[in-house]
Amino acid sequence: MVYVEVPGDKVPIRMWTDPATVEDQAMRQLRNVSTLPWISGLAVMPDVHYGKGATVGSVIAMRGAVCPAAVGVDIGCGMSAVRTSLTARDLPDDLSRLRSRIEQAIPVGRGMHAEPLDPGRLHGFPAADWERFWAGFDGLAEAVRFRRERALAQMGTLGSGNHFIEFCLDETDSVWLMLHSGSRNIGKELADHHIGVAQGLPHNQGLVDRDLAVFIADTPQMAAYRQDLFWAQEYARLNRALMMALFTDVVSREFRRAKVVFDEPISCHHNYVAEETYDGVDLLVTRKGAIRAGAGDLGIIPGSMGTGSYVVRGLGNPASFNSASHGAGRRMSRNAAKRRYSTRDLEEQTQGVECRKDSGVVDEIPGAYKKIEKVIEQQRDLVEVVAKLKQVVCVKG
């Protein structure tokens, strides 16, 4: 669809969805964002919904400023996927053993590794910059420095909520491996720390919403935030790379006779900040629940635990600041989903998928999410579909 412009305060709000379908809370958040003195543009993806601090599915471009709450507390959260040489014919009828092996190799929920992973022992993991990356830990905010051991133990772990690991088939019956995770607890603690710092700064006291407090360029607070932000984004990328290495190791062992070959992985953040230039102006672009979709960029847009997902290629639309949606997007809150749906509903909506079907994941039921097919259709001017995937195994925390 062609985007719809809704009047904002300092900039129009460009929306790749029908504004009438967006809940009032989310529209208020978007209008509040449009009042920020530093804003240069605001684009809204078709998976938009209300979020803590700032709207999920929003792309905020600012001159010389960045809002830490608009990044979200899971800094660098995103997706990774890799196509394999396996096909549907290689799969056993019972996939429960495969799911169990994945859960044994990769801690989920609040689980951690008993000992920090040695990346040098993982095939396919780019370990060259490992020491350099961890050397940066000592330069992080003092408030989190006591978390080093925990951050090491959580590196290569899934977490909970909407994070997942999936074994999927595309429309040609090729097998794909896919996962969704971020910067774990260390990212959250860094985000919480800097949001608190920003809210206390004098220039933020007159804002319409204290959650929209920003850091301004060429200040010590901005320098400290940028250092921690980019470190956490790298943590999230490495976390996904480690999990994918563990995942491919499980698959190689389980399908040893097939001598599995893995393509180059696709990886993309969808809660992050990037320095980008539009119309000759240098901007800080915050994507919260959005992926970069520059011309040729490969990305991943997942549905829910019982529906499909899409691998896409960006078309480079500057109106969206070269962005696209990060998923289907919730259509009801977690608490609302728990009130409305039962484990029987979950079983029905995840038929054919080897996954948890207990009360602990009812809030992740497909019915709580928007229809992924419609979300993809609404952004045909932002991305083109490379592959449509359907999960046969889904691991959740």
Residues belonging to the active site: 326
Determine phi and psi for 163, rounding to 5 degrees: -75, 145
CB atoms within 10 A of CB 173: 12
CB atoms within 10 A of CB 205: 10
Q: What angle do CA 209, 214, 219 make, to 5 degrees?
A: 150
Q: Do the annotations mark residue 160 as ligand-binding?
A: no
Q: Do the annotations mark residue 323 as ligand-binding?
A: no
Q: Which structure tokens are listed for 384?
A: 């083109």
Q: Do the annotations mark residue 359 as ligand-binding?
A: no
**What's the burial of 355, exposed, middle or buried (CB within 10 Å: 0-12/13-18/19+)?**
buried
CB atoms within 10 A of CB 115: 8
Q: Do the annotations mark residue 193 as ligand-binding?
A: no
Residue appearing with tokens 């990212």: 187
Q: Do the annotations mark residue 396 as ligand-binding?
A: yes
Q: Do the annotations mark residue 163 as ligand-binding?
A: yes
Q: Do the annotations mark residue 325 as ligand-binding?
A: no
Q: Do the annotations mark residue 329 as ligand-binding?
A: yes
Q: Do the annotations mark residue 327 as ligand-binding?
A: yes
Would you list which residues are annotated within the binding site for GMP?
162-166, 270-271, 302-305, 309, 326-329, 396
Would you list which residues are annotated within the binding site?
74, 162-166, 180, 270-271, 302-305, 309, 326-329, 396
Would you list which residues are annotated within the binding site for Mn(2+)?
74, 163, 180, 270
